């Protein structure tokens, strides 16, 4: 090897060590991951030991043992548990803590986009290898650029399904109410009043790169006599038109839906998920079960807001809603409503959202059910069910490792110390 070639190779090697995410995994590179345990999510069992053989960006084999081909890199993860990469079905990469302040008004879209790239990195290093971004909150379609930069390998981050800016009515839940009208403060969502505007905005968002549509269907919320009161924003007919327009392009609609009657209108219209889902009628729950519409509970944001409210009164209001939601969640589980894990991270720090698993268990799910809601239902909701959420031959090599047994203690999911996405290692345990 001549000196020039050697120096180029050395430089490339150093680059790939320091910025692991810029590696493009060679299609022939073989890796064997070995650990004491491996989670078989479909059968709900821990295998021991656990091994996964990865070639390029795909899983070739997984189980108690796999073949160790000559030349394969062996990564020994000791006493850890191997799991598929985590999936968060409700995130906001374009929000950071303080979301109830003026960040979306004071910070420019370029500034917010830079912050979003850091949020994507933090989520990935916490083990979240796939996410559904539920609205840039006033940053337009900037999420498209973040998704594409991640897909090209320019920046580290999860695989993304993005909604662009969410959609809202004039004077609705996300409109900028309470400011001097002469300042014409923009809302955190795109206006669409009535059926025709809704369809036009949906077409615009798909043109700008959205994977799906997010609609604010309810809010502001209040609780009276144990009942959640929340105005709806779109009628069932309007939501049906939105769902039909998205379906024309084989896409789907997700709603921010906290209560009735908006949640029922959304379920009748055939949305893909009803996010937050604080209180649902029997008929809504029946339809969700029948049509496989996911509820995404986002307990962590409620817990965070209750603990970080600006006033005692606001804290009490958040806690009242969380208590109501916790009671209602038991009914939803009993009614067989499909649940997917989503945290609403952004208003609380990116990378800390594994807390959601602990709260799903606290409010009535078994650890296994919470994990299946994440891996199996999350992959379905993100329309990656044939690619993600299982350690299975042919699936993408999105693999994490944690210390401890997540089937006994879901807090282990907050301590991810190995992260592989598409066969590329982004995080390794400190020795």
- Our CB check for Zn ion shows the closer of 122 and 344 to be 344
Residue number with CB closer to Zn ion (201 or 254): 254
Burial class (CB in 10 A: 0-12, 13-18, 19+), 74: exposed
Q: Report the nearest approach of Zn ion to the CB of residue 122 (Å).
A: 17
In the complex with Zn ion, the residue whose CB is nearer, 146 or 407, is 146
Rounded CA-CA distance 210/251 in Å is 9
Residues 286-345 that bind Zn ion (CB under 5 A): 344
# of chain residues touching Zn ion (CB under 5 A): 2
The answer to whether 398 and 420 have CB atoms below 8 angstroms apart is yes
What are 382's two structure tokens? 């993100």
Dmax over CA atoms of the chain, in Å, equals 80
What's the min distance (Å) between Cβ of 413 and Zn ion? Answer: 21
Residues sharing a CB contact under 8 Å with residue 258, sequence separation 6 or more, in sequence order? 218, 219, 221, 228, 230, 276, 277, 278, 279
The least distance separating Zn ion from the CB of residue 363, rounded to whole angstroms, comes to 19
Integer Cα distance of 120 and 109 in angstroms = 16
x/- string (CB under 5 A) for Zn ion, residues 343-362?
-x------------------
> Which lies closer to Zn ion via its Cβ, residue 31 or residue 298?
298
Q: Work out how close the CB of 92 gets to Zn ion at its nearest, in angstroms, rounded to a whole number.
A: 6
Binding mask of the shown chain, residues 395 to 424, with x at each position contacting Zn ion by CB under 5 A: ------------------------------
Supply the minimum distance, in Å, between the C-beta of residue 298 and Zn ion.
7
Residue 220 or 386 having the CB closest to Zn ion: 220
Q: Which residues, 129 to 188, sit near Zn ion by CB under 5 A? A: 134
The CB-of-246 to Zn ion minimum distance in angstroms stands at 19
- Beta-bridged to residue 400, according to DSSP, are 83, 419
Instruction: Pick the stretch among 33-41, 108-116, 127-135, 312-320 that binds Zn ion (CB under 5 A).
Output: 127-135
Determine the interface stretch with Zn ion among 17-25, 29-37, 126-134, 181-189 (rule: CB under 5 A). 126-134
Q: Write down the least CB distance from residue 344 to Zn ion, Å.
A: 4
**Residue number with CB closer to Zn ion (117 or 353):** 353
Burial class of 263 by CB neighbour count within 10 A (0 to 12, 13 to 18, 19+): buried
Q: How far is the CB of 254 from Zn ion (least distance, A)?
A: 10
Nearer to Zn ion, 216 or 395 (CB): 216
> Nearer Cβ to Zn ion, position 245 or 344?
344
Strands 253-257 and 213-216: parallel
Site residues for Zn ion per CB under 5 A: 134, 344
């Amino acid at each position: 090897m001549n000196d020039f070639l050697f120096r180029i190779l050395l430089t490339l090697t150093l680059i790939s060590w320091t910025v692991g995410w810029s590696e493009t995994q060679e299609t022939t590179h073989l890796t064997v991951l070995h650990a004491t345990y491996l989670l078989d999510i479909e059968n709900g069992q821990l295998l021991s030991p656990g091994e996964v053989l990865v070639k390029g960006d795909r899983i070739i084999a997984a189980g108690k043992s796999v073949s160790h081909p000559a030349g394969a890199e062996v990564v020994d993860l000791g006493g850890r548990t191997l799991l598929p990469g985590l999936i968060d079905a409700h995130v906001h990469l374009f929000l950071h803590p303080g979301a109830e302040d003026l960040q979306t008004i004071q910070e420019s879209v370029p500034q917010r986009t830079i912050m979003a790239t850091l949020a994507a990195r933090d989520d990935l290093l916490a083990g979240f290898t796939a996410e559904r971004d539920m609205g840039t909150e006033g940053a337009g379609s900037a999420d498209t650029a973040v998704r594409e930069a991640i897909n090209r390998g320019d920046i580290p981050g999860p695989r993304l399904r993005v909604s662009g800016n969410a959609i809202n009515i004039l004077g609705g839940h996300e409109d900028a109410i309470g400011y001097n009208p002469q300042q014409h403060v923009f809302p955190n969502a795109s206006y669409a009043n009535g059926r025709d505007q809704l369809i036009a905005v949906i077409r615009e968002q798909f043109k700008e790169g959205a994977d799906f549509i997010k609609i604010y269907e309810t809010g502001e919320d209040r609780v009276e006599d144990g009942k959640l009161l929340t105005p709806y924003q779109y009628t069932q007919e309007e939501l049906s038109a939105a769902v039909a327009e998205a379906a024309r392009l084989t896409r789907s609609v997700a709603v921010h839906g906290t209560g009735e009657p908006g949640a029922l209108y959304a379920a009748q219209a055939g949305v893909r998920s009803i996010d937050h889902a604080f209180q649902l009628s029997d008929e809504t729950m029946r339809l969700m079960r029948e049509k496989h519409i996911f509820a995404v509970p986002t307990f962590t944001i409620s817990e965070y807001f209750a603990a970080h409210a600006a006033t005692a009164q606001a804290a009490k209001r958040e806690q009242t809603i969380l208590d109501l939601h916790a009671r209602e969640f038991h009914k939803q589980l009993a009614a067989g409503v499909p649940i997917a894990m989503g945290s609403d991270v952004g208003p609380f720090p990116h990378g800390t959202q594994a807390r959601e698993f602990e709260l799903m268990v606290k409010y009535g799910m078994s650890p296994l059910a919470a994990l299946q809601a994440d891996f199996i239902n999350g992959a379905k909701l993100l329309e990656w069910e044939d690619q993600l959420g299982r350690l299975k031959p042919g699936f993408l090599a999105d693999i994490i490792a944690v210390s401890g047994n997540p089937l006994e203690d879901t807090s282990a999911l907050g301590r991810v110390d190995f992260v592989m996405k598409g066969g590329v290692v982004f995080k390794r345990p400190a020795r």
